[in-house]
Amino acid sequence: MSATKPRVVLLTGFAPFGGETVNPSWQAVRVLHGKQVAGQRIIARQLPVEFGASLKELRAAIRETKPSLVLCVGQAGGRASMSLERVAINVDDARIPDNAGARPIDTEVVAGGPAAYFSGLPIKAMLAALQEAGIPAEVSQTAGTYVCNHVFYGLMHALRNRKVRGGFVHIPYSPEQAAHHPGAPSLPVETVSHGLRIALRVALETGEDRKLAAGAEH
């Protein structure tokens, strides 16, 4: 008899955008491709920084890999911590064009969809584990209104009738990028990869989330 194949975790990062030559979300994610966490195999996929096309490729990856859990990762230059996103909103409002030149303004990610979706991951337990490991981490109350939020909302909409958990994490610039953005905080790609592995393990092993204060005043 053949051995049972391990279940799969789908982990996505993004292509470079906004004039950058690298995107640390993909740099950190691709390191984990083929690795195992909590007995499950990680499959990494790169998504384009394009409205519409990013969700088309994400949905195709979900159909192909049939994951038990999906974690999408994006770059948020200016943030100093790994940001575990709590809420995805049904709004595309682009400050800059995407890589295909599209710049939607005040449009819905999914026409007629709910105003918002909450993350399906135990973000407070993930937060505690990251902080205990000495990795800067926070719960974020907004994923913005660019392609990251577009993917986060589209992910949760795609999973709404599936028994699959999903969520989104924003990460800071890499030191390589921060050198071109004076004063911007950064995290090494290796640190982010380690943090993602911790976050995935906790997400896979945690049922009910922990009750920890991680709100914001504004």
pLDDT of 78 strictly over 70: yes
Q: What is the pLDDT of residues 28-66, one digit of tens each?
A: 999 999 999 999 999 999 999 999 999 999 999 999 999
Q: What pLDDT shows up at residue 1? A: 40
CATH of 8-205, one of 3.40.630.20, 3.10.50.40, 3.40.50.150, 3.40.50.920: 3.40.630.20
pLDDT of 216 strictly over 90: no
Measured CA to CA, the distance from residue 10 to residue 113 in angstroms comes to: 24
- The domain spans of the chain are 8-205
- Beta-carbon count within 10 A of 48 CB: 17
Lowest mean pLDDT among 37-46, 54-63, 108-117, 209-218: 209-218
Measured CA to CA, the distance from residue 17 to residue 75 in angstroms comes to: 10
Q: What pLDDT shows up at residue 2? A: 44
- Beta-carbon count within 10 A of 161 CB: 7
Measured CA to CA, the distance from residue 82 to residue 66 in angstroms comes to: 26
How many helices (H) and strands (E) the chain has is answered by 6, 9
pLDDT of 124 strictly over 50: yes
**Residues acting as catalytic residues:** 85, 148, 170
pLDDT of 218 strictly over 60: no
pLDDT band at 111 (very low <50, low <70, confident <90, very high): very high
Q: What pLDDT shows up at residue 215? A: 78
Closest CA to 121 of 194, 63, 69: 69
